[in-house]
Chain A
């Protein structure tokens, strides 16, 4: 099983450019998440999708949009990239929903994004 697959692994953008990070999971999980990881700040939730057809904002949603394309796929879009969005982005999925308190996350390998 592949688990959670993210593409691309690396991307360099210029300020103002747009891009989409793709995420797919093959574990039949209901919930999917996008986190960003910055040095010394742990993992911060950008957006999540508790189930197919729903999306909600996390801690740091500004500058991002998401689409839950189907149960397997959850994409993250940067419409106009800014240097502050330079980060490592992780997609994750879980069987249980984010409000259960018991949602064990399976993470993808990460996407390193640099905005110049």
Chain B
């Protein structure tokens, strides 16, 4: 079942913060985050496995609340290079569950 991302789009000024949310109605085993710049391939950012951990990648971090079946991606002090579409992918807590992607959140960072 496709996860739901919010917001669909966000516009920031350089240096501002943003949060992108991803939620599922099913119990999750893992949440993956990818970023896709216009006209390019999606690129892996991070994976969060069941356990409610938080991960970081420079000024981009994420959390996973397995009880609520939700994950949030935090972008701190945004840079122009952060612009792109962010996708979450979720794997349900059933054996053999495949990754299902959300519709994406378009992030634009302006000078």
- Chain A positions near chain B (C-beta within 8 angstroms): 4, 40-45, 48, 58-59, 90, 98-110
Contact = CB atoms under 8 A, between A and B. Distances in A.
A105 B103 contact: no
A99 B95 contact: yes
Interface string B49-73: 1000000000000000000000000
Interface string B23-36: 00000011010100
B6 to A, nearest CB: 14
B41 A42 contact: no
Contacts of A90: 41-42
Given A42-B102, A99-B97, A99-B98, A107 B30 contact: no
Contact of B43 (A100, A107, A110): A107
A96 to B, nearest CB: 11
Interface of B: 2, 29-30, 32, 34, 40-44, 47, 49, 87, 89, 91, 95-104
A101 B87 contact: no
Contacts of A105: 32, 34, 42, 44, 99
B89 to A, nearest CB: 8
A109 B40 contact: yes
B30 A102 contact: yes
Contacts of B40: 109-110
A37 B30 CA distance: 22
A48 to B, nearest CB: 7
